[in-house]
Chain A
Amino acid sequence: MTEETFEIELTVNGVRRTARAPARRLLSDLLRHGLGLTGTHVGCEHGVCGCCTVLLDGEPVRSCLMFAVTASGHEVTTVEGLAAPDGEMSPVQRAFQECHGLQCGFCTPGFLCTVTALLRDTPRPTDDEILEGISGNLCRCTGYQNIRRSVRRASELIAADPASGGPPAGEAGEGGR
Chain B
Amino acid sequence: MSTRMFGEPVARREDPRLLTGRGRFLDDLGRDALAAAFVRSPHAHARILDIDVTGALDVDGLVAIYTFEDLPDQVGAPLPVLLPHPALTHGRTARPLARDVVRHVGEPVAMVVAADRYLAEDAAGLIRVEYERLPAVVGIENAEAARDLVHDDVPGNVGAVLLQENGDAAAAIDAAPHVLEFRLAIERSASTPLEGRGVCARWDADDGSLRVYTSTQASTSVRAAIAARLDLPAGKVEVVAPDVGGGFGVKIVHPWPEEVLVPWAARLLGREVKWAEDRREHFVAAAHERGQLHDVRVGFDGAGRVLGLDVRIRHDHGAYTPYGIVIPIVTSTQLLGPYKIGAYRAEVVSLYTNTLIVTPYRGAGRPQGVFCMERTMDRIAGHLGLDRGEVRAANFIQPDEFPYDQGLTFQDGRPLIYDSGDYPGLLRKVRDLIGWDGFGALRAEAAARGRRIGVGLGCYVEGTGVGPYEGGHVEIDSAGRVHVSTGLTSQGQGHQTVFAQIAATELGVPIADVHVTTGDTRRFGYAVGTFASRAAVMSGNAIALACRKVRAKALRIAAEALEADPSDLEITEGEVHVRGDRSASVPLRTVAVLSNPLRYAFDEQTAAATQFAVGGSPSEPPVAAGDEPGLEGRDYYSPVRSTFAAGAHAAIVEVDPDTAEVRVLRYAVVHDCGRLINPMVVEGQIHGGVAQGIGGALYERMVYDASGQLLNASFMDFLMPYATEVPHIETDHLETPSPLNPLGVKGAGEAGVIPVSAVIASAVEDAEGLRVDAMPLSPDELFDLRRRAEHDPALRTRAVNGP
Residues in A lying within 8 Å of B, measured CB to CB: 1-3, 22, 24-25, 32-33, 36-46, 48-49, 51, 78-80, 82-83, 87, 89, 93, 96-98, 100, 102-109, 112, 131, 134-148
Chain B residues contacting A37 (CB-CB under 8 Å) are: 21
Most chain B CB atoms below 10 A, which of A107, A144, A148: A144
How many Å lie between the Cα of A52 and that of B166 in the bound state? 53
How many Å lie between the Cα of A158 and that of B144 in the bound state? 61
Whether, in the assembled complex, B11 has its beta carbon less than 8 Å from a beta carbon of chain A, the answer is yes
Nearest CB of chain A from residue B586's CB, rounded to whole Å: 35
Flag B369-380 by CB within 8 Å of A: 1 or 0 each. 000000000000
Chain B residues contacting A105 (CB-CB under 8 Å) are: 14-15, 17-19, 23, 243, 245, 492
How many Å lie between the Cα of A52 and that of B287 in the bound state? 24
Residues in B lying within 8 Å of A, measured CB to CB: 11-12, 14-25, 27-28, 31, 58-60, 116, 118, 122, 192-195, 243-246, 248, 278-279, 491-494, 680-681, 683-684, 686-692, 714-716, 720, 722-724, 726, 728-729, 752
Is B23 a contact of A49 with CB atoms below 8 Å? Answer: no
Given contacts A46-B714, A89-B19, A143-B688, contact A106 B245 (CB under 8 A): yes
Chain B residues contacting A145 (CB-CB under 8 Å) are: 687, 726, 728-729
Most chain A CB atoms below 10 A, which of B122, B715, B752: B715
How many Å lie between the Cα of A135 and that of B726 in the bound state? 11
| Interface of chain A: mostly helix, strand, loop or mixed | loop
Q: Which residue of A lies closest to B678 (CB)?
A: A100
Chain B residues contacting A25 (CB-CB under 8 Å) are: 118
Told that A1-B60, A89-B19, A138-B720 touch, could you supply 7 new A-B pairs with CB distance under 8 A? A39-B22, A49-B715, A83-B20, A103-B688, A138-B194, A140-B194, A144-B723
How many Å lie between the Cα of A18 and that of B657 in the bound state? 58
Chain A residues contacting B752 (CB-CB under 8 Å) are: 143
Is B16 a contact of A97 with CB atoms below 8 Å? Answer: yes
Nearest CB of chain B from residue A127's CB, rounded to whole Å: 10
Is B243 a contact of A46 with CB atoms below 8 Å? Answer: no
How many Å lie between the Cα of A78 and that of B494 in the bound state? 24
Most chain A CB atoms below 10 A, which of B116, B689, B691, B752: B691
Number of A-B contacts (CB under 8 A): 174
Nearest CB of chain B from residue A11's CB, rounded to whole Å: 17
Q: Which residue of B lies closest to A22 (CB)?
A: B118
Chain B residues contacting A140 (CB-CB under 8 Å) are: 192-194, 246, 248, 688, 692, 720
> Can you sample 19 A-B contacts with CB below 8 Å?
A24-B118, A33-B31, A38-B27, A43-B194, A44-B715, A82-B20, A100-B684, A102-B18, A103-B246, A103-B684, A104-B245, A106-B23, A108-B19, A109-B21, A112-B19, A136-B722, A140-B692, A141-B246, A146-B684
Chain B residues contacting A107 (CB-CB under 8 Å) are: 194
Which one of B14, B20, B194, B691 lies within 8 Å of A49 (CB-CB)? B194
Is A135 a contact of B20 with CB atoms below 8 Å? Answer: no
Q: Which residue of A lies closest to B59 (CB)?
A: A1
Which one of B21, B122, B245 lies within 8 Å of A39 (CB-CB)? B21
In the A-B complex, the 5 residue pairs with the smallest Cβ-Cβ separation, listed nearest first, are A39-B21, A104-B492, A106-B245, A105-B18, A143-B687
